[in-house]
């Protein structure tokens, strides 16, 4: 369940950052980017991105391993025939 939510959390945080960048360009005096809360959110976004990337790489490797196992099994079956 958590794995399904993580990519959505990353999307939402990224969208928030789009808003921060936009309003900071319009009114930089309000320090929408340069404040402790936004810095904390950026840290969270980095962590989420790394976790999502690690999970994606792990899934990708597992899929590749399964595919190669399947190919080996098929070639063994072909040899048996």
- Provide, rounded to whole angstroms, the least separation between the CB of residue 29 and other proteins: 6
The reply to whether 26 sits near other proteins by the rule CB under 8 A is: yes
Instruction: Please count the residues of this chain forming the interface with other proteins, following the rule CB under 8 A.
Output: 23
Token pair for 68: 């190669």
| Per-position DSSP letters for 6-50, written without gaps between them | HHHHHHHHHHHHHHHHHHHHH-GGG-SSSSHHHHHHHHHHHHHHH
Question: Does 59 engage in binding with other proteins (CB under 8 A)?
Answer: no
37 versus 81: smaller Cβ distance to other proteins: 37
Of 57, 52, 53, residue with least CA distance to 5: 52
Contact residues toward other proteins (CB under 8 A) are 1, 4, 8, 11-13, 15-16, 19, 25-32, 34-38, 41
């Amino acid at each position: 369940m958590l794995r399904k939510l993580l990519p959505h959390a990353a999307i939402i945080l990224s969208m928030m950052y789009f808003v921060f960048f936009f309003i900071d360009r319009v009114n930089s005096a309000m320090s929408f980017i340069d404040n402790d809360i936004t810095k904390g959110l950026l840290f969270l976004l980095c962590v989420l991105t790394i976790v999502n990337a690690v999970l994606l790489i792990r899934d990708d490797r597992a899929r590749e391993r399964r595919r190669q196992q399947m190919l080996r099994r098929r070639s063994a079956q072909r040899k048996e025939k």
